[in-house]
Each structure stands twice: as C-alpha cells, then as structure tokens.
Amino acid sequence: MKKKILILMGGISGERNISIMTGKACYKALKKKGYFVRTLDPKINFIDQLRKKKPHIVFNALHGRYGEDGFVQSILELEKIKYTHSGVLASSIAINKVVSKKIFIKNKIATPNYLVYELNSNKNLLTELKKNKINFPVVIKPISEGSSLGVYICTKKNLIKKIKLLKDYKEILIEKFIPGREIQVAIMGKSKLGAIELKPRRKFYDYYAKYYKKSKTKHIMPAALDQKKYNEVLNIAKKAHQILGCKGISRSDFRFYKNKFYLLEVNTQPGMTNLSLVPEIAQYKGIKFEDLVDWMIKDASLKR
C-alpha cells in the first residue's frame, strides 16, 4: 500500500508565499517517487482537516510562525502522526533568535553581540547600545521570524526610522553588524552536507535576494574556503544542529570575517524551492531534488 503523504503548506505567517512554493516543489518530487500525496493549507479547522485526511506522514513545508516554531509540531505529536524536520522543542528554540544565541554563547559558538530592545521602553537606545559594546552599523530584526523578514542594516542616522517599521512587535533584536562573506551550511541528519557562499548584489542576503531571480545573487558551491576553514564551518553547523536538538534537515547562516565564523541563526525549515540553498548543496553532492525530499519522508518521525 502506498504511504499517504500530506504536505502542509501556506499557513498564516509572513512567509506564506514561500511556503506555497516549497510545498508545490515537494509535491511534484513526491509524486515522482510514487507516493500518494495531498496538500493542506492549515488556515482554517486544521485539526479537523488533518483527522479527515488520515495521513501516514506529514511533510511540513510551512515556514515562519505557527509552522516552524513548535506549534504545528505539537499538534502532530498529540495526533501521533510522523512528520519531517525538527520537533517541538528544537523548533521553538531555533526560531527564537535570543534563546538560540544564548545557547550558542554557552557552547562557545561565536555570534554577533546583541541586545533585546522593547519598543515601548523608556531606556535610551544609544546608551544601551554603548553599554553592550555594539557599534554602528547595527542589524535590527524580529526575534522570531524567518526569510529575513523585517531585517534592516542601520546606521546611527536611520536607526529610529527603521525601528518604526517594526512597530507591530513588542520587542526586537538589535545586533552588531558583521561585514564579510555570507556562508550557509546544510546538515542532513548526522551528515555535514556542504557549505555554499553567497555574493548578493544587495546589502545582504535579504528576502528579495533569496526568492527573486532578478536579484542575481551569485552562488559559489562549494564555498571558496581553504579545506581547514571549510571543515571548520561544517563542524560548527553540525554542533549547532546537535545542541539545539534539530532533526532532519537544517541550514545554518554564517558571516565569515577576519578569519572567524559568526553564526547568525539555524533554520529548521529551510526553503525547498528552485532557488533554495539546501537543494543546491545536495545537488552538488550528487543528491537529486526528489531523492532529497524522499529522504526527508523516510526520516520523518515523532520526536518526543
């Protein structure tokens, strides 16, 4: 009997469109592999629809809040349905940039200096930055978003103006901007899949650079590092994957500056579109897209 696969895609986060792109690509791949595949957009009556469809395995193609933060994972655990990617705890920790940073620091993984700033705070922001040894330029971002949504590089001159763009958040993360090279590493189970280097024409690898061909971001695979440094960044990514308790596929984002790697974040639900990095790294290693997605289905499990 064919296994019934249900792809969760869409959702209600700011990354809805990217999730749909990921879901469609994975749907085609799993159909090629001979699975019985259906899709579900969990916007309304999610649990009722899930129970009606009775899948053997859920492929979680959701991105951002409610799909990548442990929420959907909790429901699937309670319904005893195997699913792809990381479990409840790892998902909720990884998407929270403050909690994950604390774990990186505790485990001696370099990450940019930061502070958490409450938008309605009476504290003087410039004083707080100075106290935390954070010089300009700085990066501001929501604490729990993905796909570089709401991420801005700020100077002293435009900081307050940019912060106003994040007015819908109670608090935000402000961290020291690390210049240098963009390196991203894919981990596949217990394997260090590879590292890719990105050279965006924009200030950094933002939402536009990630998902639009016109951005013309240059991809260098494998990353142009000497073997020692290449192995080092793979090892850091695997360590981060393990200490956060990630499962399946993860992608770690680094800056390489003055011969040192700074880990920005770990993505537990990396994109699986035709422009996504994990499939590109896998292809370089001889793993076809449909085989990568098939591996993710066979790796699916209950995590607790």
Residue type, 90: A
Q: Which of 60, 251, 262, 294 is labelled catalytic? A: 251
SS3 state at 104: helix
Side by side, which strands form the sheet with 4-8? Answer: 36-40, 4-8, 57-60, 82-83
Residue type, 1: M
Using alpha carbons, select from 130, 135, 139 the residue that is nearest to residue 162: 139
Q: Which of 68, 145, 206, 253 is labelled catalytic? A: 253
Query: Has 147 been annotated as catalytic?
Result: yes
Using alpha carbons, select from 302, 285, 304, 278 the residue that is nearest to residue 293: 278
Q: Are 189 and 248 in contact (CB under 8 A)?
A: yes
Q: Which of 13, 96, 147, 276 is labelled catalytic? A: 147
Distance CA(214)–CA(55), nearest Å, equals: 38
- The β-bridge partners of 116 are 173
Query: Has 211 been annotated as catalytic?
Result: yes
Q: Are 222 and 283 in contact (CB under 8 A)?
A: no
Distance CA(283)–CA(131), nearest Å, equals: 46
Residues in the chain: 304
Query: Has 267 been annotated as catalytic?
Result: yes
Query: Has 253 been annotated as catalytic?
Result: yes
- The β-bridge partners of 257 are 260
Please work out, in degrees rounded to the nearest 5, the angle formed at the alpha carbon of residue 33 by the alpha carbons of 29 and 34: 120
Please state the φ and ψ torsions of residue 39, each to the nearest 5 degrees: -120, 155
Q: Which of 10, 13, 15, 206 is labelled catalytic? A: 15
Q: Which of 41, 69, 206, 265 is labelled catalytic? A: 265
Distance CA(75)–CA(196), nearest Å, equals: 34
The CB-side HSE value for 105 (13 A sphere, CA atoms) comes to 10
Q: Which of 35, 83, 211, 262 is labelled catalytic? A: 211
Q: Which residues are catalytic?
A: 15, 147, 211, 251, 253, 265, 267, 271
